Each structure stands twice: as structure tokens, then as C-alpha cells.
Amino acid sequence: MLHRSLGATGPTTSALGLGCMGMSDMYGPSDRAESLATLRAAADAGVVLLDTGDFYGMGHNEMLIGDFLSDPAFTHGHKRDDVQISVKFGAQRDPAGNWIGFDGRPSAVKTALSYTLRRLRVDHIDVYRPARLDPNVPIEDTVGAIADMVKAGYVRHIGLSEVGSGTLRRAAAVHPIVDLQIEYSLISRGIERDILATCRDLGIAITAYGVLSRGLISGHWTRGQGQGADFRAHSPRFQGQNLDHNLALVEELRRVADEKGVSVAQIAIAWVLAQGPDIIPLIGARRRDRLAEALGALDVTLSPDDLAIIERVVPKNAAAGDRYAAHGMASLDSER
Ligand SMILES: NC(=O)c1ccc[n+]([C@@H]2O[C@H](COP(=O)([O-])OP(=O)(O)OC[C@H]3O[C@@H](n4cnc5c(N)ncnc54)[C@H](OP(=O)(O)O)[C@@H]3O)[C@@H](O)[C@H]2O)c1
């Protein structure tokens, strides 16, 4: 496993992290046994960073990871500290799973953390972060409350998610921030406007999600997938003519991938890895075959010529459709 540093003040971590969301939520039904096997395969391959959120499946994802950490198949070869657990909090949901706002108040931070520690069955979280900026709570208050939890030993490091440069600077003035979790891929390049430069200035790593644009640029997506409660049934990029346009881009990318003898997903992940040593892709694999494909990206070297060709076939702003539906876009401090 290759390693990268989680910001100037954070620990060394694996060059790829495993995002566990899809094992509990957002992408339709998942298979518990296969999810646990994927977590084990990731640990065995040296993937250290596991990303979750307390709202993924309303606690389900944390309990799954808790089960994994106490599973003899894990504990025979590994210890708790062989993995780094990154947890998002603050997204509010009702019992039907509807998204009903964000809560970044200090009391909410401490309450959410207490429940998370119980569900994961651990005594500390490696990186704790608000999922979104709560527009009603100064970021200094939210980060200050997490900093209290760092002092008390329940949290090791503080991260942020989908915030812009101004919020990053205000937060970093309160406590060191190790990483910003934000969407970044060949077709989601918003951080290149100013956020990436701000992170570099502040010594904050990027943990990139949506590197495969939620499967859209994985090379495996076909029209008709993703029905019902699946996030992609409502995502602008997966609808109608937008989808036709975006899948045409994937076919262009497939020609480049074929030339190099790699898969589309591998070239998309390798492109993000090539954007800087401070960028750590979070891979949303929930099956062992997908994980193995993603890990293969670590062996793909993209030359300057390769990068220029990729830029030509999938230029900046090439995608049709926003990365979230309107209400989701409105909650992104990073897009202001
Ligand atoms: N901070 C935030 O706001 C935020 C938002 C979203 C996600 N995240 C985090 O980031 C993680 C990854 O995000 P994402 O789900 O958007 O990731 P992604 O990697 O862009 O998309 C994952 C989807 O691509 C499919 N896929 C196809 N080939 C794949 C391959 N070789 N490797 C991995 N996946 C492949 C997956 O598998 P299937 O074919 O099995 O469906 C899944 O449906 C999440 O698990 C979560 O932890 C954070």
C-alpha cells in the first residue's frame, strides 16, 4: 500500500481510503456479508482510512464497522489502531430517512460523538467532522466543541466537509484541520477554483469523494440502474439527456483506458491520485471485486502526455448536470 499524509498535522494514511456509505445507504440494497468481506479485504490490502457518517443508514454504517472491528476475521490479524476511522456528524434525518437539516451546535457535537463511540464500540475517533456547515452556528463554535473532545481524548483530529475557503480559514484559526472531505473527480473540479489552493496554504489534505462520480464514470454504469431510493435516481447527472452526454464522456475515457490496458474506473482514480500527494481518494467500493479494481489504480502511472489526453477528452466542466439536486447544492458552503 502506498501512503499519504493526512495534512501537515495529521497521521500518515493509506493512499486510498474506503468510503463505507454505500454499504448502508444511498445506492440501493447492499449485502452485509459482502460488505464485511470488503472491509476485511481492504484491511488486508493495507487500506487504513475508513470513512463513515452517523447518518449513513441512521447508525447502521457505524454499527457495521463496529461489527467488523470486533469480528475475529479482523481481530486475528489486526488491532483497532490499524485503521483510522473518519466520522461525519450533524446531518439530521427523520425516521423515514428524509434529510431535515444540519446541527453543528456544541451540545449536538458532543451528543452525536457519544452515540457514535457506542455504535462503533471504540474509545476514540480518528477524524471527526461536521458533514456540512450549519448556517446557524459559527464554525468556530462547532470546531471549538470538537477541540474540547480532542482535549478529552475522544477525538484525535478534526476534519471538515464541503466547506469553502472562508470557512476553512476560520476553522483552522481555532484548531488544526487535517483534511477537507469534498467531491473531486474528472467531472467535479470545483475545488480547483480556490479551495485546493487554500487547503495547500493551510496544510490541509483533501479526502476526495465521488471520484467515480458515484459510479457514473466507473465504466460500469448503464441507463436504467439506480431506481427508487437510490441517490442516483434523483441526481441531475444521471437524468435524461445529461446521462447520455455524461456516458458519452465515459466512452471517450474508455478509449484512453483501453490504450493503457487499464479499466475506466482505474484511470478515473489514477487521475485524482495524480493531482497531488495531498489528495486521498475515498473509494466507494462495497464489493470485493470493485475494491480490487480500485486498488489496481495505485499501479497506474499517468504521464504528462496521458494527463493531456485525458484533459482533452474530458475537459473541465465537461459534465452535464449539477453534482447534487437543488436542495443539496444549496447546503454546500463549498459552492458559495
Ligand atoms: N462528505 C460528503 O459529503 C460525502 C458525500 C458522499 C460520499 N462521501 C464519502 O465518500 C465515499 C465514496 O463516495 P462515493 O460513493 O460517491 O464514491 P464513488 O467511488 O464515486 O462511487 C461509488 C459507486 O461507484 C460504483 N463503482 C463501480 N466501480 C467501482 C470501483 N472499481 N470501485 C469503487 N466503486 C465502484 C460503486 O459500486 P456498486 O457497483 O457496488 O454500486 C458505487 O455505486 C462514501 O462511501 C462516503 O464515505 C462523502
Establish whether 154 is a catalytic residue: no
Question: What does pLDDT average to over the chain?
Answer: 97
From residue 156, give the alpha-carbon distance in Å to each of 89, 123, 175.
Answer: 15, 11, 12
Give me the count of residues in the chain. 336
Alpha helices in 152-303 (DSSP H): 165-174, 195-202, 240-260, 264-273, 288-296
pLDDT of 33 reads: 96
| Pick from 292, 299, 283, 281: nearest CA to 4 | 281
CA 148 to chain centre: 25
CATH number of the domain at 7, please: 3.20.20.100
Element (H, E) at 112: helix 106-120
Q: Does 293 contact ligand 1 (Cβ within 6 A)?
A: yes
- Number of compact structural domains in the chain: 1
Is this model's pTM higher than 0.85 or not? yes
| Pick from 43, 48, 34: nearest CA to 282 | 48
Instruction: Give the three-class secondary structure for 167.
Output: helix
Residue 142: pLDDT over 90: yes
CA 104 to chain centre: 20
Residue nearest to atom 39 of ligand 1 (CA): 215
Q: Are the C-beta atoms of residues 87 and 122 closer than 8 Å to each other?
A: no
Up-side HSE of residue 20: CA atoms within 13 Å toward CB? 36
List strand residue ranges (DSSP E) for 168-313, in order. 177-183, 205-209, 279-283
Q: Are the C-beta atoms of residues 257 and 306 closer than 8 Å to each other?
A: no
Expressed as residue numbers, the domain containing 25 is 3-335
Substitution candidate for ligand 1 out of 99, 214, 237 with most atoms within 8 A of CB: 214
Can you tell me the mean pLDDT for 188-215?
A: 98
pLDDT of 226 reads: 87
pLDDT of 78 reads: 92
pLDDT tens track for 33-51: 999 999 999 999 999 999 9
Residues of the chain above pLDDT 90, percent: 97
pLDDT tens track for 150-173: 999 999 999 999 999 999 999 999
Instruction: Give the three-class secondary structure for 330.
Output: helix
For 105, phi then psi, to 5°, come to -65, 150
Q: Does 287 contact ligand 1 (Cβ within 6 A)?
A: yes
Q: Does 226 contact ligand 1 (Cβ within 6 A)?
A: no
Can you tell me the mean pLDDT for 285-291?
A: 98
pLDDT of 229 reads: 83
pLDDT tens track for 92-137: 999 999 999 999 999 999 999 999 999 999 999 999 999 999 999 9
